[in-house]
Amino acid sequence: MLRNCRIIRNLVVLHRLLARLGSRPSIQGIEDTLFLDGPNVKDVYELYGVEGSGKTELLLSLVTSIILPKDWNGYKLNGANAGVIFIDTDYKFQILRLVNIMEKRIMVKTEHDKLDTNKKTSSNDIEVLVKECLKKIMIVRCTSSFQLLVTLHSLESTISNNPDIAVIMIDSISAFYWIDRCNGGENIGAQETNMKHIVQQLSKLINNYNLVLFATKALNFKKTNKENELKGDNCASPSEKKVLKDNHAEFLCKSWYKFVKHRLIFHKEKSFSIYCNSLNIDIQFTVNEGGICFK
């Protein structure tokens, strides 16, 4: 009995070890204006902003860059040819929009560098390519934090069996915040148990399997005016604007706050913009048919 148990255990350990050692495709350079020479493995990005500020749109643009191949029929598509797990807790994932972005991206690239006049890409070819690429994205939908936690545990075997998967995306991580807060009653510890376990499991997946995590977080709380004023007073006028740009206020548990490596803060005023302190960027972007376009 004991021997049996050891053999199974060793097999499991070996299997996981192999999965970890096996190299996963790199997604470095997929959006160099935003991530410079990143995203590096084990990075955790949080996309934070009000509704309609372009968080999900950026995720879809990133998915496109990740799942498209590097070359196709001699055209440079500059994709990473990697796999993605997309966890949709908001029931907002629009596959039709993703397909639109992909088709547009391919069309722009193929028209841009016409290598060979004899070679014509028909819309049929593009459709075949799009369908082929769509096999690399897996969509998981969750309706509660409990389900999300269990799903993250069950995804471990999916990830270890599929060496193409390089990215996990969660849209959004804050979806169950209010429900958990109500269910937890007065006890903050009870309110945050599920979230803590989720962060623990995510960190295990990201670090053990060398993945990159992107998660959106809704702006549920505004920083109070008082805090802003206080900071504004201490800072010189040029940097004052930056203080206001950083309107982040953490409301998920502390372990999530520590887990996030780069926080991209989305703003929507006259135009869309992203501000990130750790990457030292403050750029504007537009949204069009082909996804997000940086100025």
Partner 1 sequence: MSVLRCGICSALTDDVVSTLKDNGIRSVIDLITQNLEDLSQKTKLSYKDLVAIVNVLLAQYSTFPVTGEALYNTVLTSTSILPTACQGFDQILDGGLYTGEVTEVAGEIASGKTQICLSMTASVICHSKQNVMYVDTSGGFCAERLEEILHTKYQQGDNSDVFSHIRCLQTYDIYSLLSELQQIKVNITQQSDPFYSGLKLIIIDNVASVIYPILGGNQLDGRLIVCIDLLNAWWKPVVYTLIYPILGGNQLDGHGLIVQLSQLLKPLAVDYSLSVLVSNNVVVSDGEKKASLGKVWSHVPHTRILVSSMGDQQRQLVLVKSSRSRTGQTANFIISEKGCVDPG
Residue from the set 178, 207, 249, 284 that interacts with partner 1 by CB under 8 A:
178
Q: Write b or e for each residue in 130-144: b if 16 or more Cβ atoms lie within 10 A of its Cβ, otherwise e.
A: beebeebbbebebee
Separation in Å, CA 103 to CA 1, 119, 265: 56, 18, 28
| Burial environment of residue 7 by CB neighbours within 10 A (0 to 12, 13 to 18, 19 or more) | exposed
- Whole-number minimum distance, CB 71 to partner 1, in Å? 21
Is residue 181 at the binding interface for partner 1, with CB under 8 A as the rule? Answer: yes
- Whole-number minimum distance, CB 24 to partner 1, in Å? 17
On whether the CB atoms of residues 267 and 273 are closer than 8 A, the answer is yes
φ, ψ of residue 240 in degrees (nearest 5): -60, -40
On whether the CB atoms of residues 115 and 74 are closer than 8 A, the answer is yes
Q: Which is nearer to partner 1, 38 or 176 (CB)?
A: 176
On whether the CB atoms of residues 85 and 255 are closer than 8 A, the answer is no
> Tokens at residue 185, please?
């009653």
Closest CA to 267 of 13, 3, 50: 50
Chain positions 92 to 151 lying near partner 1, rule: CB under 8 A, are 92, 94-100, 131, 133-144, 146-147, 149-151
> Tokens at residue 207, please?
């670090």
Chain positions 211 to 250 lying near partner 1, rule: CB under 8 A, are 218-220
- Whole-number minimum distance, CB 141 to partner 1, in Å? 6
> Tokens at residue 247, please?
């309107």
Q: Of 34-42, 46-54, 109-117, 244-252, which part binds partner 1 (CB under 8 A)?
A: 46-54
Q: Which is nearer to partner 1, 47 or 140 (CB)?
A: 140
Residue from the set 175, 199, 213, 215 that interacts with partner 1 by CB under 8 A:
175
Residue from the set 10, 12, 17, 258 that interacts with partner 1 by CB under 8 A:
12
Q: Of 20-28, 73-81, 84-92, 104-112, which part binds partner 1 (CB under 8 A)?
A: 84-92
User: Which residues contact partner 1 by CB under 8 A?
Assistant: 1, 4-5, 8-9, 12, 50-52, 56-57, 67, 85, 90-92, 94-100, 131, 133-144, 146-147, 149-151, 153-155, 158, 172, 175-179, 181-183, 193-194, 197, 200-201, 218-220, 288
